[in-house]
Structure 1
Amino acid sequence: MSQKQLLIIGFVWPEPKSSAAGSRMLQIIDLFLKADYKITFATACAKTDNAFNLEPINIETVQIQLNNSSFDSFIANLNPNVVLFDRFMIEEQFGWRVSEQCPNALKILDTEDLHSLRKGRQQAFKNKEEFNDTYLYNNFAKREIASILRCDITLMISEFEMELLQTKFNVQESQLHYLPFLIEMDTESLENTPKFKERNHIVTIGNFMHEPNWQSVLLLKQQIWPKLSQLLPQAELHIYGSYVSQKATQLHNPKERFFVKGFAENVDAVMQNAKICTAYLPFGAGLKGKLLDAMQNGTPCAMNSIALEGMFGDLKPNGIIEDKIDDFITKTVSLYNNKLEWVKAQENGFKILDKRFSKSLFEADFNYKIEDVLKNISTHRNQHYISQVLQHQTLQSSKYMSKWIEEKNK
């Protein structure tokens, strides 16, 4: 029996040191490698210095073009069994071409986070209003839900977002699959992380190009750290993240003990040196990679309800949760100074990793889902006939728009 082929069409090259999305992509790649798939990674995005080198793990890489029929011959020759779209914008660009050239290929969408939810919350934040359904049902949602419906399986990183898709948008559960961040547990390493007295300062980390992270930094600078720093006179705030901008570096102020550090070469070392990781996000979606990084390095967290969404289930959190800024500051001080509270939060983090994100909990179910739908793809698609109608209509409109752009660019 010939080896199955997987084509991943990437929004960007995976950058695991720059973003949680990059780590997520490598976790998915690893699942397919262990299932003995031959993998090709294709993207129209330029490769950066932070891009992970896929060739040593036997992943073929291909540069492709947007709105160009050269992709048609490429995928027809490859003839993959499975195609994975990295975010819905990629499915919009290439989904119709995949359906036309390889109609029997299983189409998987990896959402990373629910973009429409994040965009709706961002607009509510900008308007200084409470988020509600009016903001949820935005134009991004129309595009994103259409993309989800056109695909055979959509991978969801957050249980909260899975439920939202079913209750608010009537997406069938059979079209969704829960696959959070996957952690390979190393109990000995967890137990050997630096202790309470060996740590100092507060840290946060996140890609500066990601708007929720940037707005979080502004909140820290303008509203949280001025008060928190007075109550913790020996503590410093260290802000790490890739793609640090000039407007971010201008916030750097040693006199205020507010340090913009930029790219973190070693996230584990950064987290293990810190006493607390803070994640106060004004808006966002999905799971927060910084919280997983913190838990893996025994670092308790100070967070608000947006940050913890989809993270803890019924388990106790690895730190404090508070939305009111003054109370957030008070509880952060307590977590920073109280050893018993800190140690308990650290233990909670280890338990969360084991019970909710251990790779062994999800690998078999993921493999079964892929193979089951692959074997019964016609039945699966007939059960979601509205999706086929949408696929037909979209294929026609996207096809001729793309061909028009291609002609225009000649």
Structure 2
Amino acid sequence: MGVRAVKLSQLADFPPLKKNYPVFRFMGGNLISFFGDQIYLIAIPLMVLSITGSPVSMGIVAALERLPILLQPFAGILSDRFNRKCLLLLCDLGRCILVGMIGILFIMGILEMWMVYPVVFGIGSLSQIYNTSQFASVPGLVRREDLQAVNSLNSGMFNLAVFFAPGVGGLIISFLNPGYALLVNSVSFLVSFLAIASLRMKREERDSSKQSIWREIREGVEFVIQTKPILYTNLAMVSSVFGTTLFLTLLVFHLKDSLDINTVMIGWLLSAGGVGAILGAVMSNFFRRWFSYRSILFTASVVGGLSILLFGLMDTYFWLVITNAAGTFCASMMSPCIITIRQTLSPDHLLGRVQATSRLMTWILMPIAAFLAGILAEAMGTNLTIVLAGALSTLASIPYLHHSLKEY
């Protein structure tokens, strides 16, 4: 209760959301970084396709980028022990250098796959630390009652980037090559670095000398297991993330190689998905006024999973756009709800570890899914693999029916 009381008193010091300018600068930096990330997501598959022409190589790259998920417990400890602002700055700077490096090497025509593998692993590692620290930093910037609105806005900004960035990335790649798109991504990390550097973020004093690393990890795991709303949303996300990873790993490759859609149209299809995602983020805060988290999460999970399944069955551009937009709408409506549940129920000194434990639980199968995507695509084609992904994502809706979620 003492931790809760301190946390509430700290949140009371913050101004109303409309006047909380630091948190808007924080989200602005995130928007620029998100923008670059979306360009990265379209540039990397096309770069690998250009070098190797193999879906298996794309699966290996995607798996290596997601493998640092296994380091999540340590990312949580870093976030809870050290200055979160410094961690955010270091991660932005590191990603700026790594992404820029492979972009330049590709432009020079000397990039080889053995160079790509360690770089994407490094980018993935820094992203894990950044995302955990970012999650843990938000409650220290706003009032508790503003958390749902801030998470919805942050998700909306992310999806605004999803709307604009792929189209821009597609144009850059169409006129130049993926290397230049990665240079844009590198600059976005630099802008995010400068935005975060301008903030005055409170540094909570944490006594990290009395506990071992393993005891700290166990403390986060025990809290997640005991807190049923967090536990059951995590269990639902395991199957959902596995299916979604199968889908996303093959998305660009499927559109380009199997359906012979040109790069610019791929970019606009992904951007159109951003429209649905922006609407989903906005509607999340609206629906929360009328429905429980359980109702929102279950319905969105079912519809989102079916949209992936239908995507695998479609071969006309119009319906590909519609099903992709429906999926992004549902995913972006769910994300702020899950994040707010974790932030609201977790004490400040456990925020990093709760997020890290939750991500490890929900994302642990992502590297396997990414690798299997390439293997399954070779064996039975991208269409059937995406249909399988949709079926798995739809089944993920079942744990959301747990009664503990009805209370929130």
Q: TM-score, normalised by structure 2?
A: 0.27
Name the structure with the higher helix share: 2
Name the structure with the higher strand share: 1
**Structure with greater contact order relative to length (CA < 8 Å, sep ≥ 6):** 2
Q: TM-score, normalised by structure 1?
A: 0.27
> Greater Rg, structure 1 or structure 2?
1
